[in-house]
A and B are shown apart, each in its own frame.
Chain A
Amino acid sequence: MGAVFAETALTRRKRLTERLAQGILGLMALSLVVPLVTIVAYLFVQAWPLLSWDFLTSNPIDGMRHGGIWSAFLGTMYLVTASLCVSAPIGVLAAVYLNEYAEDNWLTRMINLAVVNLAGVPSIVHALFGLGAFVLFAGIGRSIIAASLTLAIMTLPVIIASTKESLASVPRSFREACWNVGATRWQTIRRIVLPNSVSGILTGVILQVSRTAGETAPIMFTGAVFFKKIPEGDIFAYSLTDQCMALSMHLYTVTTQVTNAPHALPYAIAVALLGTVLVVNALSIGTRVYLRSRKKW
């Protein structure tokens, strides 16, 4: 009887291979965490002497050697918010069209190809496009608007791609069931498709916040400045036609252009930038978990 389940040389080898494969794959997955933890810990240790609430809410002084990062932090907030206000609605609605309405013809194929290629364009090229199109050709001038539009063009293809993916994850059978009972495409999208893909769509959009906040090149020529003094603590200190400071640009300036800055200063700026992005990402994960919990099939 027992012989049926007894281990042979073959099954033994299979078992060991299985364990080996699992071990190696797991190790690789684990190794992803190491650089992240190292970077964050290193930054925090180096930045520690400067980190305080005042650092966030006061302007840089003394040739950016001392003081805080208020004007840069607020500038980044403006840029991120304004660019998402443009790219999120356009991107999501375009993706809905492409996924739900568009027929498979040469035009749609060309649009899809354009989206994929646009996603692969380096950010410095977006920067030059922004400079040419918004600052010079459209005559907007270097401003938060021009910089945000440039950032929006950069994030648009990624938002379209992630939204399309979320929409495609809603089974076609749901759509067919709706069409069969005489619902229009729009009723189907509004009642069934969007409510069940909104978590993925939001996640995709919010993840673009970190990219927008981190990029330096696209804003360098289009609206960001080295230094600008604004009223401390006033969140309406910038107007959209102003030029502004930005965290990513500020970090670049302090590390390369400012001499005799305290050792901890660039690290503290990096922590602020990273902290902003992490807070937003945490928010996005929270949203996703909440919306997932209401997922209905």
Chain B
Amino acid sequence: MVEPKQKKVEVSNLRLSYGKKEVIHGISFDIRQSEIFAIIGPAQSAKTSLLKCINRTLDFVPGAKVSGVIKVDGQDVSKMKNVYELRRKIGMVAPLPVGLPLSIYDNVAFAPRAAGMRNKRALDALVERCLTQAALWDEVKDRLDSLGTKLSGGQQQRLTIARALSHSPEVLCLDEFSIAIDPVTTMRIEEVLKQLREKITIILVTNLVQQARRLADRTMFLWNGEIVEMGTNDVMFSEHPQNRQTYEYVNGIFG
């Protein structure tokens, strides 16, 4: 069993609607320090929207309305003045790889520079550390000047992860990071995540039930904006989870 740890992200009674349509219907859960927390569920379960609530990039979506409380490190995100600091605290990796139209180096150095870091040597070290952590350094170390957008899909996804790590996040959100990349690269990134879990909290949104089973400490099954079941993996993926639907979804019988 996982020993009780400090709460990193607390969500209570979260509701989200786009216009008149409510997509998250009042959910509550906690994510603990240094765990891998998986969120599974079919498309349209508001998994991505949930992540956007946490780092407040939902601010950029017109017509979105949030109620309820989300706390990161005990602080209410909706009351934060410095949302940029919040977003730096939370690394975000989107489903499709996004290499910014900059060089590989600049892709990784973008966030630290935006935060005001100018020291060339510190930047160099940071870029190397992040690319190494994302298992990309060896492939690109000789061509850091070439464009990030010209890398292959799998490499771009690792570049995206390196960028998400570049602002030293305490929480790393991965939104279906593996849908655009091959199984071998996926396994390499999963290895990276296993190393990272010691230092940071990881939220893993995934369509791959097996990926959640392999990596996560706890898993939450979200469906149509409501939590069907949430628990440790040995319960969620056992023969007898509390909810019948969980068993069916996890085992692919879900209609």
Hey, which bits of chain A sit against chain B, CB under 8 A? 103-104, 173-184, 187, 191-192, 195-196, 295-297
Contacts and interface: CB of A to CB of B under 8 A. Distances in A.
B65 to A, nearest CB: 14
B114 interface: yes
A196 B99 CA distance: 14
Given A182-B114, A296-B149, A177 B98 contact: yes
Contacts of B92: 180-181
Contact of B149 (A103, A180, A181, A297): A297
Given A173-B94, A177-B163, A296-B147, A182 B100 contact: no
B100 A183 contact: no
B167 A174 contact: no
Contacts of A180: 55, 57, 87, 91-92, 94, 164
Interface string B68-111: 00000000000000001111100110101011111000000011
A296 B101 contact: yes
A18 B87 CA distance: 53
Contacts of B100: 174, 177-178, 192
B87 A181 contact: yes
Contact of B88 (A181, A191, A296): A181
Interface size class of B (residues with CB under 8 A): 20 to 34
Nearest to A173: B98
Given A177-B100, A179-B60, A180-B57, 4 more contacts: A176-B57, A176-B60, A178-B110, A181-B163
Nearest to A103: B62
B87 A173 contact: no
A65 to B, nearest CB: 58
A182 B88 contact: yes
Interface of B: 55, 57, 60, 62-63, 84-88, 91-92, 94, 96, 98-102, 110-111, 114-115, 147, 149, 160, 163-164, 166-167
Nearest to B106: A191
Contact of A181 (B60, B96, B101, B110): B110
16 contacts: A173-B98, A174-B98, A176-B60, A177-B98, A177-B163, A178-B100, A178-B114, A179-B57, A181-B92, A181-B111, A182-B87, A182-B115, A184-B84, A187-B114, A191-B102, A295-B101
Contacts of A182: 84-88, 111, 114-115, 167
A167 to B, nearest CB: 14
B87 A179 contact: yes
A195 B106 CA distance: 14
B171 to A, nearest CB: 12
Contacts of B167: 181-182
Most central of B84, B110, B164 by chain A CB within 10 Å: B110
A170 B159 CA distance: 20
B151 to A, nearest CB: 11
A103 B59 CA distance: 11
A180 B164 CA distance: 8
Most central of A176, A181, A183 by chain B CB within 10 Å: A181
Nearest to B57: A179
A154 to B, nearest CB: 32
B101 to A, nearest CB: 3
A191 B102 CA distance: 9
A177 B159 CA distance: 12
Nearest to A171: B98
B70 to A, nearest CB: 16
B159 to A, nearest CB: 10
A141 B111 CA distance: 53
The 8 A-B pairs at the shortest CB distance, nearest first, are namely A296-B101, A181-B111, A182-B88, A297-B149, A180-B92, A182-B87, A182-B84, A183-B114
B243 to A, nearest CB: 33
